[in-house]
Structure 1
Amino acid sequence: MRITRLFACVSAFLGLVSCVSVPAGTTAPNEQPFVIAANPLAAEAGLNVLKRGGSAVDAAIAVQAMLGLVEPQSSGIGGGAFMTYYDAASKQVMAYDGREVAPAQATPDMFLDSSGRPLPFEQAVLSGRATGVPGAVKMLALAHDEHGKLPWNSLFGSAERTADEGFIVSPRLAKLVVYPVPENGAPDVIAYFHQGPGGALVKAGDRLVNKAYAAFLRRLASQGPAALYGGETGARIVARTRVAPLAGSMTMADLANYKPIKREPLCAPYRVYLVCTPPPPGSGVGTLELLGLLEHTDIDRRGPNDPDAWYLFAEASRLMYADRDRYVGDPAFTNVPANGLLAPDYLADRAKLIGDMAGPPPAAGNPALAPAMAADHTYEPTGTSHFIIRDAAGNVVSMTTTVESIFGSGRMVDGFFLNNQMTDFSFTPVDAEGRPAANAVAAGKRPRSSMTPLLMLDGDRNFAGAFGSAGGNSIIAFVAKSMVAAIDWNLPTQEALAVPNLVARGPNFNGEVTKFSPEILAALKAKGIDLKPGQGEDSGVHAVMIRNRQVDGGYDPRREGVVLTLPR
């Protein structure tokens, strides 16, 4: 991949090549260190590492360790992650895939009942089969081997001390402990969160102690990833997943054999920037397709108070989701036509389908080299976090991390929750015609993810910005809306993230109805879009733009994030 002062030529996943004029000097080098994360304690843990001279990856390890304690509903040691990394010295971008994988004994029909019908999600999510082999820790270890500065064993102290001494339960965690999700009825969830006075359920302001997590972090610090992927903790993970109902098939060999993947990022132009994301099984290709579709509209000449802007965003989103849902899966198991989905001619033809009125759900398109795939039936709940870090050398981490649903599978080992990423597969593996689903279960396969941690470069390959979000299958829409608001509408980043969310996928139009004006809602309804309140967790977008050589960072006001910076 190479960028000159005047032209960006992109060589990305599956041979995609496109060129776009990119003005030089859109930003200027600026190495002010910062951490943007969903919880102040996590951001402070990362900033403390930067103060000690640590790298962005060093700080990411500290942030993840703390998030697993103070935001266990969203991510943790027992989950997976994607990281997009900018190396300031070489001006190169690389992607790290820490997505969970299906155990070696997983089968395509593992989420079907005896009659061949898909299991109810509420039943599957609490099962032992729900947990995939976790990947976040080994991914971070790989990135640390390549980009770390401080010793691994020096990066867990903040989280360990906080777990030992306890932390104050935040309003958001207190809210989600009583949220109506299946996991809140799981024995491990009930036991862990009944630490209030007299054994009552914790509430905001209570102190929550997690001695088991502190002890595990001490082992992780001293033993490295082997503390999770073997030994006593590994054995407990396997044992916990093999408990009924619907016992899983994970083995110690599955844990030992897990390997993170360093991938070439998937990059495409948007306006004056080059946008880079992890390739499939992440959904960066969907984000790039949506942005590419929007470039064929006049959304950049509109604004947040223009109902036509939201109409264009909704219709472009539906076209993108139809393609993403049909074609994206683990590229080791299915041919993902990423080059075809992002080809200029395909985007131009697809954008022509945006008419004057919203009609029935659009069908998936037929990009070049697209295989014949079944319709997708994946259900993607929310339970994710995103953070962005830059160190003093200008290296940047944009990382999205998850345990999938709120509190994952609801099963806990050594003070952390296990993921339920196996339920991110399509429960129905083939359609009536025998065509496979791109995201069907298979042994050793990585489930499709909606995560899209992205980085932006200017025409000189300087770091220009980063975006990412939580929110299940809505992540793509949350990120793209924020980018449109920050880039096309030129809003300050914090204001851009506060702009109302709208997610259009298939027949559903969901959004923050109370944040749109009655005039916008009425105008959208007149064009066939009857916006309904969204479901599940809110967005959790964190973002930064480099404007006039200054860090313009933002955190999603719907959560408890913070932007922390160090003096240059």
Structure 2
Amino acid sequence: MRLTNAVIAIWFAAGTVVAQQAADAVAPETAGAGVVATSARVQAAQTAKAEGRAVAAQDWMVVAAHPLAVEAGADVLAAGGTAADAMVSVQAVLGLVEPQSSGLGGGAFLVWHDGTTGQITTLDGRETAPLEATPRLFQDDAGEPLGFFEAVVGGRSVGAPGTPALMAEAQARWGNSDWAALLDPAIRLAEDGFTVSPRLATLVAGDAARLAVDPATAAYFLPDGVPLAEGAVLRNPDYATSLRALAEQGINGFYTGPVAEAIVAAVQGADHNPGLLGPMDLAIYRIKERPAVCVPYRGHEVCGMGPPSSGGVAVGQILGTLESTDLAALGSENPESWRLIGEASRLAFADRGRYLADNDFVPVPVEGLLDPAYLATRAALFEDGDVLDEAPAGEPEFDHTLRRADGDTLERPATTHISIVDSYGNALSMTSTIENAFGARLMAAGFLLNNELTDFSFRSHEAGVPVANRVEPGKRPRSSMAPTIVRRDGAPVLVLGSPGGSSIIGYVAQAVIAHLDWGMDVQQAADMGRALNRFGIFDLEENSSAAALAEPLAAMGYEVRLGAQTSGLHAISVGSTGLLGGADPRREGVALGQ
């Protein structure tokens, strides 16, 4: 299934404005998929995407969410830099031109395949809760959870950012370029200005009321009280100053000194909703290297991010539960394929709600959740062809005297994703975020601050039983980000990931299935209509061929909901004939390679 070229052309020409589904909903990040081309190579990449063609290359490839960021990374790779070097330039530019999605004020997860050693590992750059936080951080005086945006807007939701430390750590480990020079493209753009894209302008207009709450944020996004206009040239000298501090002093230039002081002042000085983040929280922040979570699927090894992300485990559970099914024979348009995928996803989300959290604070049964024998018992729940009345959490091998309550979180679609393969055989998959679009709506030192703490459960207990993902000081909130590298015989064959809140898990699993089961190339996998089932309702993408599933799935007994989907899938396949790159048509990114 794929979006029609006519629909893609409409999006490119005019952007997409999706109506609010609730009074407090911001415009989704699908808005405004068009962007002014910056070079002939970007124009060629945009044409390929509009026509549904993957971009081919032999030596290296980079795919990300904005052409200016992709060009910065491409220049690094063309000059002999590594994927880690290119990521630094890409992320620094994204934080400027796509500020609603990620930036220095947020966090990220990175999966790395080393072309020299063949080893795969992950870096955890997730934000941390302030040392003064308590499990009641997002509760009112009566102990009831706050409303989502009541918690988000202001300083209360801000955790210690991890993205700058992750950029520096990855580049120190695996880079071969000058650190400061990698930040130059973003510094130049910040000082000289960049053109506001249709998507950014649409999102600013849709969130103007919340952006107006903080004076610094309002001054940047709502000059003279008017939302940024498409085509306007936007400069950000404060961002350039922050990047220079990072370039000259390394992470000390961010986590201590004037930048850190500006962050703390913004958080604690938000008079409408002050937060707890202090200087010590920034000074003690550290990146954590964690083992990749890898599962077998169709003769491949699918590797992703473990706790505190639920992405790698949930994607692995979905694929592992489907391993015994013949999705290839059923095909991509068969409603039965989607019943199977949907039920596997529902069961994975049930386990996610009960067990997944920061495993530095609570035991997480990762091996038990991915054990083939356990997944076979889960698959047996829906092998008779019926729709499950309920999709409960299971009982993997685990000390069940450690009782866990089911806990929900309110992840909203936002975030960004970067996929890179370099000429040395290294592969990098990194998903980066400030959580909700525009984060906490607080600006400090030229960048937006995250609202990542609202990825914790607002409740600490249910009926006296603790929730694994409750707030605790120093803890990292659970995430759905799922940067993924698929390998065969120890070598990468697919590098991918997506933004989209909790939908990320379904987007990534669907793309892996599309490629390995249904033989789609990476652009076809990015184009195809989205169909997700997380909690019992089948969400189908309107204006795509996924909408054709509505009637048959409803006939099976599912509640079906048509609407926009906010994927931003960026993928690279590696094969005997070279590299292919695909960028999601719902956003403004491109693939560039050589």
**TM-score, scaled relative to structure 2:** 0.87
Structure 2: which amino acid aligns with 1:60? M
The C-alpha deviation readout for 1:383-442, integer Å capped at 9, x for no partner, is: 20001112221111110000000011000011100000010100001111x211111000
What is aligned with 1:382? 413
C-alpha displacement of 1:228? 1.2
C-alpha displacement of 1:253? 0.9
Structure 2: which amino acid aligns with 1:446? R
SS in 1 for 2:496: strand
Change (3 A) 1:365 1:41: same
CA distance in 1, matches of 2:563, 2:103: 25
SS in 1 for 2:206: coil
What is aligned with 1:547? 575
Q: Is the counterpart of residue 79 in structure 1 residue 109 in structure 2?
A: no
What is aligned with 1:488? 517
SS in 2 for 1:178: helix
What is aligned with 1:211? 237
Moved more, 420-429 or 373-382: 373-382
What is aligned with 1:506? 535
CA distance in 2, matches of 1:493, 1:151: 32
CA distance in 2, matches of 1:184, 1:299: 45
CA distance in 2, matches of 1:206, 1:252: 36
Residue 467 of structure 2 is aligned with which of 437, 451, 455?
437
What is aligned with 1:365? 394
- 1:40-439 alignment runs, 5 A limit: 40-180=67-207, 183-187=210-214, 188-195=216-223, 200-243=226-269, 244-282=271-309, 283-354=311-382, 355-369=384-398, 371-432=402-463, 434-439=464-469
Change (3 A) 1:360 1:175: farther
What is aligned with 1:24? none
Alignment coverage as a number of residue pairs: 532
What is aligned with 1:562? 590
Structure 2: which amino acid aligns with 1:492? D
Q: Is the counterpart of residue 457 in structure 1 residue 487 in structure 2?
A: yes
The C-alpha deviation readout for 1:492-543, integer Å capped at 9, x for no partner, is: 21011111111212233212033136652211110112321346x6101111
What is aligned with 1:10? none
C-alpha displacement of 1:251? 1.2
SS in 2 for 1:326: helix
Change (3 A) 1:257 1:275: same
SS in 2 for 1:301: helix
Identity %: 42
Change (3 A) 1:548 1:51: closer
CA distance in 2, matches of 1:49, 1:261: 26
Change (3 A) 1:277 1:65: same
Structure 2: which amino acid aligns with 1:320? A
The C-alpha deviation readout for 1:315-365, integer Å capped at 9, x for no partner, is: 111111111121100001111111111111111110111142324331101
Change (3 A) 1:57 1:345: same
Structure 1: which amino acid aligns with 2:468? A
C-alpha displacement of 1:473? 0.4
The C-alpha deviation readout for 1:254-303, integer Å capped at 9, x for no partner, is: 10000110111111111121111121111211111111112132222222
The C-alpha deviation readout for 1:70-106, integer Å capped at 9, x for no partner, is: 1111100110000001111100101000000001111
SS in 1 for 2:381: coil
CA distance in 2, matches of 1:414, 1:239: 10
**TM-score, scaled relative to structure 1:** 0.91
CA distance in 1, matches of 2:304, 2:114: 14
CA distance in 1, matches of 2:485, 2:546: 32
Residue 553 of structure 2 is aligned with which of 514, 524, 528?
524
The answer on whether the counterparts of 2:459 and 2:470 sit within 8 Å (CA) in structure 1 is yes
Q: Is the counterpart of residue 448 in structure 1 residue 474 in structure 2?
A: no
- Aligned-CA RMSD value: 1.6
Structure 2: which amino acid aligns with 1:437? V
Spell out structure 1 runs of 4+ moving beyond 6 A.
none
CA distance in 1, matches of 2:485, 2:462: 37
CA distance in 1, matches of 2:277, 2:547: 52
Moved more, 418-427 or 140-149: 140-149
CA distance in 2, matches of 1:65, 1:477: 28
CA distance in 1, matches of 2:452, 2:102: 12
Mark the runs of 5 or more structure 2 residues left unpaired by the alignment: 1-56
Residue 502 of structure 2 is aligned with which of 445, 455, 473?
473
SS in 2 for 1:531: strand
CA distance in 1, matches of 2:576, 2:425: 16
The answer on whether the counterparts of 1:31 and 1:393 sit within 8 Å (CA) in structure 2 is no
SS in 1 for 2:286: coil
The C-alpha deviation readout for 1:107-139, integer Å capped at 9, x for no partner, is: 000110011100011110013110000001112
Moved more, 512-521 or 329-338: 512-521
Change (3 A) 1:519 1:258: closer
C-alpha displacement of 1:47? 1.0
SS in 1 for 2:124: strand
Change (3 A) 1:209 1:361: farther
SS in 2 for 1:215: helix
C-alpha displacement of 1:169? 1.0
CA distance in 1, matches of 2:475, 2:533: 28
C-alpha displacement of 1:209? 1.2
Structure 1: which amino acid aligns with 2:524? E
The answer on whether the counterparts of 1:399 and 1:453 sit within 8 Å (CA) in structure 2 is yes
C-alpha displacement of 1:182? 6.6
CA distance in 2, matches of 1:368, 1:252: 41
The answer on whether the counterparts of 1:425 and 1:447 sit within 8 Å (CA) in structure 2 is yes
C-alpha displacement of 1:180? 4.8
Structure 1: which amino acid aligns with 2:192? E
CA distance in 1, matches of 2:483, 2:209: 28
C-alpha displacement of 1:485? 1.0
The answer on whether the counterparts of 2:218 and 2:225 sit within 8 Å (CA) in structure 1 is no
The answer on whether the counterparts of 1:178 and 1:184 sit within 8 Å (CA) in structure 2 is no
CA distance in 1, matches of 2:417, 2:286: 22
CA distance in 1, matches of 2:416, 2:574: 22
SS in 2 for 1:203: coil
Structure 1: which amino acid aligns with 2:583? Y
